Structure formats: structure tokens, C-alpha cells
Amino acid sequence: MDLPGRDAALSVELEGGIREGDFPREEQNPERQFCVFRAGRERFCLSVLEVEEVVDWPRFTRVPLAPAFLMGVFNLRGAIVPLVDIAFTEGRRPGLLPRHVVVAVLKGDAHGEDVHLGIAADEVIGTYAANNESLIDQAPSDVPHCRAMLRHDDRLALVVDVRRLLEVFQVPVI
């Protein structure tokens, strides 16, 4: 039986009930959430699935003979987390410490443990939903730890790739 005012593609047999495929589905762009923060003069972001938490600036311990980007390590509920400054090339003033730490996590495979990394952030701007149109699938070549850019609030944020970040900013094993 055809429903009045509907074309044949949308008609349904009332006795048989509604079957999958009787109604067209709208294509939707999947949305992802990003945590946007500022480190130095640049805005960066991480997928919220890669952010374990954001904490206020902790007490941290400097590591002797550490590379310039490694600010030190801090204790996060019994776990020692390295703290990196991805904006160290901008010459952050020594007396001006960031206000927050974005704790990123790189999930380990079946045989490895998760890797936690603290990223110094001057400001946490917020979380933003993004679809494919909001993402630009390229990043500046001089920022090897980023894989794309996110459009938000008429600005751009560099999308950090945690795996690449750990390759570029090689943190000593503690």
C-alpha cells in the first residue's frame, strides 16, 4: 500500500512494518571534539580522546642536562609525567611560567603501556566540535609535530599529533 503524498521509494507495507532502507538516510559529517590551548603565541589542539586531563600548573622537578624543551617532570597521582614546552623556540621568559598542563596520552598497543606527556599551556581556550570542513589536512612544514589545522572562532589551531610529538621531542626515559 502506498502512503498518500509519498513517492514509491518511501512507501512501506503496513503489514510487514518498516524495513531498513525504506527511508533515505541523510549523509552526516562525523563530528570530533578538540581541546584548544595556547602555548606561546600559537594555538594548538588535541583530540579530546588524546587528552587525559588538564591540570593547573604543578610543582615540577627539573631534570639535569635535559634538552631545552623538557621543563621537567611532575607527579600526577603517583605517575611521573614528563613536562614539555612545545613553544620553547619562542624564547619564553624564564620568570613567566605557563598556567596549565594538558596531559596527553598515547595509547599503547597490546604489549605496550600508555605513554603520558604533559604539554605546557599558557591558556586553555576550550573544546570545539569539528567536522571535516573545519579541518585543513595540512600543517606548516616547520612544525613537524602537527598534522593538520582546525578552523575555530575565525582562527586556526595546529592539530598536534602525539606520536609525532614524542618523535620530535624525544623525552628521556625516567
User: What are 94-149's pLDDT values in tens digits?
Assistant: 667 899 999 999 887 767 788 899 999 999 999 999 988 889 888 888 888 899 99
Q: Which residue has the cell 587525559?
A: 52
- Higher-pLDDT residue of 95 and 83 is 83
| Separation between Cα atoms, residue 32 and residue 47, nearest integer Å | 7
Q: Which residue has the cell 591540570?
A: 55
Task: Specify the pLDDT at position 156.
Answer: 93
Contact 37, 100 (CB under 8 A): yes
Write down all domains in the chain, each with its CATH number in brackets.
32-168 (2.40.50.180)
User: Pairing state of beta strands 51-56 and 32-39?
Assistant: unpaired
Question: CA angle 164-165-169, nearest 5°?
Answer: 120
Mean of pLDDT over the chain: 81
Residue 5 pLDDT more than 70?
A: no
E strands, 28-84, in order? 32-39, 42-47, 51-56, 70-76, 79-84
